[in-house]
Amino acid sequence: MINERALDALREKVSESEGKKRFSHTLGVERAARALGALLLPEKICELAAAALLHDITKEFSFEKQLKSCEEFGIILGRYDHMSPSVLHAMTGEGYIKKHFPEFADEEVLSAVRKHTTGDENMSVFDKIIFIADYIEDGRTYPECINVREMLLTGLENETAEARLSRLDAAVIAALDNTVRELLEKGKIISEKTFMARNSIIASKNRS
């Protein structure tokens, strides 16, 4: 069972395996995930904290180690995945959690870790919280991140449950848009999952 005691032990372990800067980002994501969880998914705070603590657990692996881990965990890479090394850690993270942190390998935790970098089609509220917590945590100082943070958090507690969810969607779309713009500017590969994530949120709004 994922409880605060288990999370304290997990935080300790993660602090030993991540560099100082990465770990401080991880703690920022945990804080943001808890704050958002309190307003959007209060029954899942511990699971959200676990996903936040583990989301970048393989991020510091070298490219070679990422590829080796993909092989080890039986991950079938998309045609262009090896050309955008930073997307690999989300996939290897899932396999690594299953192997090394089975007590936290809850389906929702795994799904959120898998989707936290590119997004994906039909993201759950849980997935969206981790995705956006990664984008808006306190340590992010890019103006784009600060804008999305303010847009999402300002007065969120005064909103109805429905309005909170639609602001979460708007923030995820804004983050995806910024990511697409940045990748376009840098001439980098854009994962099709990023478009699927965006399209599926927009489609779900049009349905309702």
In the complex, which residues of this chain contact Fe ion (CB under 5 A)?
A: 56, 134
Nearer to Fe ion, 142 or 199 (CB): 142
3-state SS, one letter per residue, for 87-133: HHHHHHHHHHHHHHCHHHCCHHHHHHHHHCCCCCCCCCHHHHHHHHH
Taking the complex as a whole, how short is the minimal distance between the CB of residue 160 and Fe ion, in angstroms? 30
CB 57 within 8 A of CB 93: yes
Alpha-carbon gap, residue 119 to 172, rounded angstroms: 9
Nearer to Fe ion, 7 or 53 (CB): 53
Taking the complex as a whole, how short is the minimal distance between the CB of residue 133 and Fe ion, in angstroms? 9
Nearer to Fe ion, 67 or 112 (CB): 112
Nearer to Fe ion, 3 or 62 (CB): 62
Nearer to Fe ion, 74 or 137 (CB): 137
Taking the complex as a whole, how short is the minimal distance between the CB of residue 67 and Fe ion, in angstroms? 20
Alpha-carbon gap, residue 206 to 151, rounded angstroms: 22
Nearer to Fe ion, 76 or 145 (CB): 145
CB 55 within 8 A of CB 101: no
Taking the complex as a whole, how short is the minimal distance between the CB of residue 134 and Fe ion, in angstroms? 4
Taking the complex as a whole, how short is the minimal distance between the CB of residue 27 and Fe ion, in angstroms? 11
Give how far the C-alpha of residue 129 lies from the chain's centroid of Cα atoms, to the nearest Å.
7
Taking the complex as a whole, how short is the minimal distance between the CB of residue 158 and Fe ion, in angstroms? 29
